[in-house]
Chain A
Amino acid sequence: MSLRTEKILRSLDRAYTGPICTVKDWDTKVIPQTIRAKLKKYGLEKTCDMENPINCDDDLADQFYKAGYELALEIGMLNVDTERIIKIQEDELLDTLRHKPREITLGSGNDSVVLKYRRPEDPTPPLLAASLGIVVSEELYVPIVSGIVKYRELVDVLHGPSLSTVYGRKIRSGTPYETLMGRYETELRREALWRADRPGMAHTGVAGAVTQYGHLGGAASIGGPGNVTMALCPVELKTNFSVFHRIMMAINYGMRIRAGGFSYIGGYAGPPEGAALANVAVDLLIATILDSDYTSSYVYDIQLLGNCGRKALWANSVAIQAISRNTYLIRNKIVNETGGPCTDMFMYEAAVGLMNHCVSGASKTTQPRSAGGKFTDHLTPMECWWCGEVFKSCAGMTRKQANEIAKQVLPKYEEQLKNPPKGKSVLDCFDLQEMRPSPEYQQLYLDIRKELMDLGMPLDKVYNNVALAR
């Protein structure tokens, strides 16, 4: 038995033997009370600085780490299917922190990339996986994906859109339609990568799989250590057997494990400080309980249905920095934009959110989430390219520089966060034959790029040639 299998089985066993707790008690008592107590103990209450949305205070980040470490050991994760808590011992957490890989190779051959641990203000460019599961029409899937991965310098890993149908049929989650879709999506992904001459690019699971059925349906086609499974846990600090199924699938097919758990401002964890603290704890717990190679956890604001407002920017910055400064864990961090394709709103949100993640120490992101992922075919390769350009170009900036830029860009969009523009569908703003944005979208890109460069965002530093070629 491999060490990984042994660790996962230990966690699974605890899901049957750990302390009993109902989901309701966990959500309404255990989580809020424990988090509130930790915030108080470590002096972290009301530390959210709305005037400085990107944290520049190392001591504050370190205090969040200490509190998050203690929270992780004290609380564990609730398995909702058995209503038992999976607790961990300190030696297990220390073992995780000592032995997790500091870099991982994803993909194969010429298309392989190295995913590395990053510190805050790290000059190493992070990786970008695209897109973030936005639904697209079946007939547009291959051309859109081919366009997304067109530029090697901008997009490193294929997460991919989700299919709206499988062979013209509606996909219903948890049914044989989803199982069939799993295999079908991987075939389309492979075709798109061949067309783009990037056949060895890494896959991060089946994008349209919402239950284990879709993942298992596609696993045989995208197995192996260059590819990654995706297991997302319920909010807050919870897991379930669907997550364990996906982890077991990764073991069976020799894949890397990416697991995540989100923290919601306004939700069970409470204020921005509570969500940041929960996010620190969940990174530590997932890496230990689910033995993930890297985590994919982030803070989200339930009032704004995204994470590009000041509270979420601050909470993500402090949570990412807490882990980056105190561990070598590799983390994927997501920005949830609310503006749609071909809008200045989307471009501003992505720029500020990704700059924040980059300077705070995220190793990878999955983008874009145009229009909150709400509308079919509201995804073009252009948003993916823009995200890659911003995320990678910001490597090496200081947090102070980034914070100053964020403070100037936020007023350009924050009033629209509760009333965001839907933007345009791919067929209305992107030419999938020529793989170019429409003249209108191209001009918007050039205008906003110049505007942000004038504010000090170093978009000409690394990828100027690619940008001009477009």
Chain B
Amino acid sequence: MPKLRPLLKGRSLNWLGVVPFLAFALLFLILPTMNIVTGAFFDAEGKLTLQNIGNLFTPEITNAFSLSIRLSLASSIIGCSVGFAIALAVCLGGLPRGLRAVTMTFSGVASNFAGVPLSFAYMATLGRVGFVTMLLRDWFGVNIYTMGFNLIGFWGLVMTYVFFQIPLMVLIITPAVDGLRREWREAAEVLGASSSQYWRMVALPVLWPSLLGTLALLFANSFGAVATAIALTGSLLSIAPILLFNQIRGDVLQDPHLGYALAFGMIVITGLSNGVYIVMRSRAERWMK
């Protein structure tokens, strides 16, 4: 061992120190993903083909993707707006200081409270005999289920997803809101700007990249969510990740390579939206010095 040390000190062997990590990442993160991606471009005989990607454009699969995209868009736009409003309220709204710490802590918990238990909480609240459903029926005579609401439907799922989207938004956007300097507001006021002019011409343009970036992140976050939807709908709702889940379990598409193409499509969408997030974040950081 003592003989090894001068060796390790040599510059050329320093890279050995990261080999375990790189091997781990390669074997259990990068290679499995690459395997799926390449699988999407080969047919059963091992020949290079674009046929699998072309086969994605059947009504069943395009409908699943479009439903997934609409679901993620709706939940991320709502999560983004409400989360931003809450962040503004606790940072700049003149609320008691203690509320901010409470909000941040709760957001940390709630953004991690996703998946199966979250869907149970919503079933107990907005299901057919849920707490709020019964409350509305008994106190206000409103039966939301006869009015067309269904927790297992589109808006029910959106409401459930919003539960983890809002806290995530609050957690990510608060540092950006804190980054708005008091001097900017004062400078705008000295120059005679009204409050709405300050927001329109100074604050929002500064926050814009952060808002857009976080929207992209929230989109990716709900696009990849599987467990919440499965626990809520019993894998019946045809969204892209559930379709892939059923495909992995029992080859419901009767073509393994179509499964890889499906997974590849999901990577493309989450990859793109995360790319938007990274680009936007680096833009936003210009103002955060």
A-B complex is real: no
